[in-house]
Amino acid sequence: MGEQSIFQQVQDTCIYLRERLPIELRKPRFAIICGSGLGGLAASVNKSPRAEFEYGSIPHFPISTVPGHVGKLVFGTLGADIPGVLMVGRSHYYEGHTVDRITFPVRLFKLLGIEMIVVTNASGALNPEYKVGDIVVLNDHIFLAGLAGTHPLRGPNEGEFGVRFPSLSDAYDIGLRRTTHHAWGKVIAAENKRRLHEGVYAFVGGPSYETRAECRLLRQLGADLVGMSTVPEIIVARHCGIKVLALSLVTNNAVLAPVPRGDDRLLQGSTAGELDTIVEEGKATHEEVLEAGRLAAVDMQQALVDIFATTDN
């Protein structure tokens, strides 16, 4: 027998899950992809009915190896008993997966009957107006890897999912973006300093964080945020005809200032310790990403419950 197509693999996975799900969860209507540190969003799912599957137990499913990405599908209901599924953790291109492999779950959502996907992530802010802890509703993206040919739709078109040449000029659903702004104003207390913005996200391959020069380049191209996920998932979701809402949590402010020069006269008398302090300023760490995600998960959870209640009406 020849190698299975992506569609056949997704069919296998869909059958596997439906055979093990309670009947009221077999036709989920929404999916949430939880980014770094945002696994706490699973708390928004009602305790019953509920079913969980470790990624390693699901046929063909890509496995995440990144700290902060637990690696399980959580099926359940949200708000007014709307059935859905949460991906608690995702796989990334930098882990060695191909871009079509990391988007396998999105194609699975298509066959499960998902109508809407909420994609969340942690990102670095290129826009100087953004602060750590702010949340940004994505309205566009920059996918340099895709422009260069590393694209999740490359190869023979899987017509069961969508057309050969999908349009992405309106990839991020304006109705869902509008609903998110309304929900945020309703559920987030006035004294809460976490702000909501809209902006453009730039995808980079990782796993290294961006250099200062790379950050300046992306900012000049029009990006407000930079991160290592989300865009391939968005592209495949739109190819599949699924509506998309993407929320990005700012976990650090990218350093755009040029790296200090070795011939700077002001640094000639600095000690080694002082030089280390200057260079370390603003450097991103995965630990701060996880902590910011933990603190933001509650606010995101409140907003999402209201969003789903609104879109269900």
The residues annotated as belonging to the active site are 36, 69, 92, 94-95, 122, 228-229, 252, 286
- By CB atoms closer than 10 A (0-12, 13-18, 19+), residue 85 is buried
The reply to whether 252 sits in an annotated binding site is yes
The reply to whether 229 sits in an annotated binding site is yes
Give the whole-angstrom CA distance, residue 298 versus residue 188: 10
Give the whole-angstrom CA distance, residue 283 versus residue 265: 24
The reply to whether 92 sits in an annotated binding site is yes
Q: The tokens of 34 are what?
A: 């939880």
The reply to whether 64 sits in an annotated binding site is no
Query: In angstroms, what CA-CA distances link 254 with 117, 129, 206, 226, 286?
Result: 28, 12, 14, 8, 13
The reply to whether 121 sits in an annotated binding site is no
The reply to whether 97 sits in an annotated binding site is no
Neighbours of 269 (CB within 10 A): 7
Q: Work out whether the CA dihedral 116, 121, 125, 131 comes out positive or negative.
A: positive
The reply to whether 90 sits in an annotated binding site is yes
Give the whole-angstrom CA distance, residue 112 versus residue 14: 7
Give the whole-angstrom CA distance, residue 86 versus residue 76: 8
Could you list the residues known to form a binding site for phosphate, using ranges: 36, 69, 90-92, 122, 229
Could you list the residues known to form a binding site, using ranges: 36, 69, 90-92, 122, 210, 229, 252
